[in-house]
């Protein structure tokens, strides 16, 4: 089981965030990322929204980074850890610009970038950026195909409804081949079919953990899935967040579980097909207390995982 390092103050969800996180600075995050890198965490993942409509702020919070910028910064502050997003809202970004940003960061980090693409869910966010919300799935599929073409072809060309290009050069290519890992976030059938066609991983959010194995079988049953290695992500605290960032009670994902409880929960997720997970932020009061806990997880919990 690979472990994601939960970096505090990536967001301020009512369902998961603790009061002390709001005071965490970028300098604090840099120090924590360096520790996670040194201790052996496998990944840091950055959430993304561009704007939060006023009627969603209570549940969603106002604080989100631009995922690719944050990933690139964190890559520069670390040496070995993988940098992912959870998620990058694909339809809201021009695919040529986004492909360039991700390829640049992968090239400069010697191949440590990843990306988890999602189609988004906040309709008002799409309205503000002038992107048709109800076409976001079709836009995402086209953008994905265009990005892969830019990353892998020596003479990229693409003809689509939303983006077209021909007779161009595009470098640097990603260091990782055939390109940096693409994962797909979401739970609808369309997201899973997208994962089967384009991705090497699926980040589940609203799927109940007892249904993950069934949904993974659905992905691998798609004609477009070619048997490539495939990761599944589900954090132990994920079930505390419902649709639209609503608050859900889940006794199996509470903060501050014992080592035995964490090992049991993570091992059970592994039996469902989960290969990447994270533990809930503990009930602490400051960065140093959190770092003590995070080091304990690596030293006492991770060695017991299958």
pLDDT by position in tens, the chain (length 306): 999 999 999 999 887 888 999 999 999 999 999 999 999 999 999 999 999 999 999 999 999 999 999 999 999 999 999 999 999 999 999 999 999 999 999 999 999 999 999 999 999 999 999 999 999 999 999 999 999 999 999 999 999 999 999 999 999 999 999 999 999 999 999 999 999 999 999 999 999 999 999 999 999 999 999 999 999 999 998 876 777 777 767 666 667 789 999 999 999 999 999 999 999 888 899 999 999 999 999 999 999 998
Half-sphere exposure for 192 (CA within 13 Å, toward CB) = 20
**Could you write out the three-class secondary structure of 233-294?**
ECCCCHHHECHHHCECCCHHHCCCCCHHHHHHHHHHHHHCCCCEECCCCCCCCCHHHHHHHH
If DSSP codes are grouped into helix, strand and coil, which group holds residue 56? helix
State the Cα–Cα distance between residues 164 and 105, nearest whole angstrom. Answer: 24
Query: CA 21: distance to chain centroid?
Result: 20
Q: Look up the pTM and report it.
A: 0.94
CB of 197 closer than 8 Å to CB of 224: yes
List of domains in the chain: 2-304 (3.20.20.30)
């Amino acid at each position: 089981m690979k472990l994601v390092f939960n970096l505090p103050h990536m967001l301020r969800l009512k369902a998961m965030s603790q009061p002390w996180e709001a005071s965490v600075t970028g300098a604090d995050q840099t120090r924590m990322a360096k520790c996670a890198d040194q201790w052996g965490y496998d990944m840091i993942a950055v959430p993304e929204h561009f704007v939060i409509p006023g009627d969603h702020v209570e549940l969603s919070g106002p604080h989100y980074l631009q995922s690719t910028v944050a990933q690139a910064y964190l890559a520069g502050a670390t040496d070995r850890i993988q940098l992912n997003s959870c998620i990058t809202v694909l339809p809201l970004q021009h695919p040529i610009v986004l492909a360039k940003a991700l390829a640049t960061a992968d090239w400069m980090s010697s191949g440590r970038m990843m990306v988890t693409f999602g189609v988004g869910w906040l309709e008002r966010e799409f309205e503000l950026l002038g992107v048709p919300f109800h076409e976001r799935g079709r836009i995402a599929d086209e953008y994905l195909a265009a990005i892969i073409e830019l990353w892998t072809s020596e003479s990229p060309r693409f003809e689509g409804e939303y983006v077209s290009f021909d007779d161009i050069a595009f470098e640097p290519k990603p260091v990782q081949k055939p390109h940096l890992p693409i994962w797909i976030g979401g739970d609808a059938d369309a997201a899973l079919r997208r994962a089967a066609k384009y991705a090497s991983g699926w980040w589940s959010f609203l799927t109940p953990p007892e249904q993950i194995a069934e949904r993974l079988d659905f992905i691998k049953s798609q004609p477009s899935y070619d048997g490539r290695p495939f990761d599944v992500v589900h954090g132990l605290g994920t079930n505390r967040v419902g649709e639209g960032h609503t608050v859900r009670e889940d006794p199996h994902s509470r903060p501050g579980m014992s080592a035995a409880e964490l090992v049991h929960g993570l091992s059970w997720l592994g039996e469902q097909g989960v290969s990447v997970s994270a533990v809930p932020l503990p009930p602490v009061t400051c960065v140093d207390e959190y770092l003590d806990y995070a080091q304990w997880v690596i030293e006492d919990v991770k060695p017991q995982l299958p």
